[in-house]
Amino acid sequence: MVKTFLALQIEVKVAIVIAIICVVLILRILLSRGLNSLFKIQLDHLKQLRHRNKFINSLTLSLLLLVTYRFIISTSWYTTYESIRVASKFVLVFLVITSAQMVIQILKLSHEFFGTLSISRKQSIKPLIQIGQLAVIIVSLLIIVAIITGNNPITLIAGASALTAILGLIFKDILLGFYASMYLNATKIIQMGDYISINALKAGGIVEEFGMSHIMLRNPDNSTTILPSSTILQNDIVNNSTIKEKQGRRIHKTLLIDPKKINTIDAQKVDFYINKYQLPKGTLLNTNADLLTETIRHYMLRHASINPNSNVLASLSNQTVAGLELTITASTYLSDYTEFANFQSRLLSMIVFYINHFELQKD
């Protein structure tokens, strides 16, 4: 085939080269339009356009390198000159590199396409994409080493297995992050858009991204916190996403009162207190602490934001050196964090008012 091409007239050679260039350009145009429709690429989405163009460039270059390599090995020069054989290896190495880039760009395009689907709001495939990219790079490196050394890639893989234990110790944190990302994708205990809190690290925010090595949280002040993925396995995580499933957030607060200021109530004033603080008739009131807890509990029951069908409690619990604990527990109908925080602030201010009103505050 090469001899036939060389024997052609110069005009025919030029025509063939021009025809090849035209075919390459037409192929680029068809690939561009096909990728636009396949991955629903928008012309104003710069990231998608960049991945598409890189893929087309890698594919075009790969085809040209493949043709060049086939051309070189089909000539008599390949068997005659050592320099030609070395050149063919370099061409083959570049072919592997461009092919790897092409596959990586396909993975990135798939990730961008997945981001346009509604399911991407709750689930991320970024760890899988990163694992795929890592696998492509490792395989490509092994093939390149095999081409340069003239060995079989399978033999290299078998020899590299002896380094697995050493590499496992060196890259322990990376492997733990890899396992954590796979664990999150498999169990879905934390998903995109969940609001999580990590008390040990004093961190909390909305999960915007988690990959093979990190997890990114959007903080309430709109800043971001980036943590290693292994953090999920090494610390206690509070996932607030279940609040929406339960249709409301829960209040659980503990305040302190002075036990030395607890006094008995005059039996003749019990009915007066029941009417004044809108308590049910027959409420048992022996001390001002009883009056405090019953007043707070029924105040919460009357509030429109409190779920009366849940446990609504205002009770005295443990006595510590600092004082006697007053525990407040209730469930609300509020799932929005801002509304809940405002309501909780107003409720606590009212509870503090009652503590002072019944003269049970700490000095």
Please list the pLDDT of the chain residue by residue as tens digits (363 residues): 545 655 555 655 566 666 666 666 666 666 656 655 555 545 445 566 666 667 767 777 777 777 777 777 777 767 777 777 777 788 888 888 888 888 888 888 777 777 777 766 666 677 677 778 878 887 888 888 888 877 776 666 666 555 566 666 656 666 676 777 777 766 677 777 777 888 777 788 888 877 767 788 888 778 888 888 777 777 777 776 665 555 678 888 889 999 889 898 888 888 888 888 889 888 888 899 999 999 999 999 988 888 888 888 899 888 888 889 999 988 888 877 778 888 989 999 999 999 999 888 887
Of the candidates 141, 170, 199, which is a domain's last residue?
Answer: 170
Same domain? 276 vs 331:
yes
In whole angstroms, give the CA distance from residue 325 to residue 254.
Answer: 6
Is 179 among the domain residues? no
- The pLDDT of residue 8 is 58
- Per-residue confidence (pLDDT) for residue 82, from 0 to 100: 76
CATH code of the domain containing 200: 2.30.30.60
Would you say residue 211 lies in a domain? Answer: yes
Residue 36 structural domain: 2-170
Q: For position 98, what pLDDT does the model report?
A: 83
Q: Tell whether 55 and 144 lie within a shared domain.
A: yes
| Spatial separation of the C-alpha atoms in residues 342 and 46, rounded to whole Å | 41
The total number of structural domains in the chain stands at 3
305-310 contacts, C-beta under 8 A, 24 or more apart = 305/332, 305/333, 305/334, 305/343, 306/330, 306/331, 306/332, 306/333, 307/248, 307/331, 307/332, 307/333
Claim to verify: residue 251 and residue 202 sit in the same structural domain: no
Q: Could you tell me if residue 72 is inside a domain? A: yes
341 in a domain, yes or no?
yes
Instruction: Kindly report the CATH number assigned to the domain that includes residue 272.
Output: 3.30.70
Q: Is residue 175 part of a domain?
A: no
Do 86 and 123 sit in the same domain of this protein?
yes
Which strands make up the sheet holding 250-257, listed edge to edge? 250-257, 324-331, 313-319
Residue 122 covered by a domain: yes
What is the full DSSP assignment across 189-243? SS-TT-EEEEGGGTEEEEEEEE-SSEEEEE-TTS-EEEEETTHHHHS--EETTHH
DSSP state of 166: H
Please check whether residue 313 is in contact with residue 325, taking contact to mean a CB–CB distance below 8 angstroms: no
Same domain, 36 and 60: yes
132 and 221 belong to one structural domain = no
